[in-house]
Structure 1
């Protein structure tokens, strides 16, 4: 069946009667998501990804997620902000990127240690691993990042940053102001917000 959605369709109003397709197909500023949540009695904290997921659930079910449904309380009582850390300390569900953890990794790895998105995601996905294993993963990621062809990964929710980077990489003769102009046109249209060569036809 042919997709009947029109990419040139004007951007709809974000309210409680918006269709799921419209909500998912168009770009929304974080402040728009926060305003919607505030108006409908939804929690307004969190990043764009969390806000969008909260709104999507509400549009699908009409339910306001209780805080307890959104965030499960950790089982572990380990305090990552002050408990002493060792190489064999197990990463628990109460893990937090704290000054205490930074000090441990700086001592273990070196002063060049810094938290980064990929490393933090690895820790989130590897509860039960040790800090020594985490340190080895950080070193592996660090070596990869030193490759001259390495490109920092930008999380999907940061659509603007990804678009600008990809636009400029594909159009080296154009300037940042050009990338921003095409992004402003793209974000008003239905569909993907990823850069495409055809965007130059806008």
Structure 2
């Protein structure tokens, strides 16, 4: 396929360019040769090159407009960035501030995403409240499960005492009760 395709060079018709597949490295090399921005996704490069071949216009990189300064090291006074993508850098920062038991919970991640522009100090301050809400939900869920298991035990024990119309034997009932006691 690569032998028959035209070489990517200035003067190539944009229609011909768009008919062929070029590697990202080839697109970047062409951009560098022509003085075009070579950063961005492959789709960005294709768009930039097509426009250049059609008009001769050199477009700036779209990705440079979208880029947000991201600090290499986080501090308590660092601002939460817009469109944050959680990384090991974030996890390490929160573990160092909140202790080794820190885990990223969805509720906390959502709070951070919704509060871009606030400081990490504010995120640290709100974390205990969010974690406590999660614990309360978990405790409520566990209580609900425990109540349900108790109900099942009572129902099974009662069912075993009266005998089962479905033909379950007392031996079977005792086995079910033993399993339920392990829960």
- Structure label with greater radius of gyration: 2
Higher helix share goes to which structure? 2
Q: TM-score range by the shorter chain?
A: 0.3 to 0.5
TM-score by length of 2: 0.39
Higher relative contact order (CA 8 A, sep 6+): 1
TM-score by length of 1: 0.37
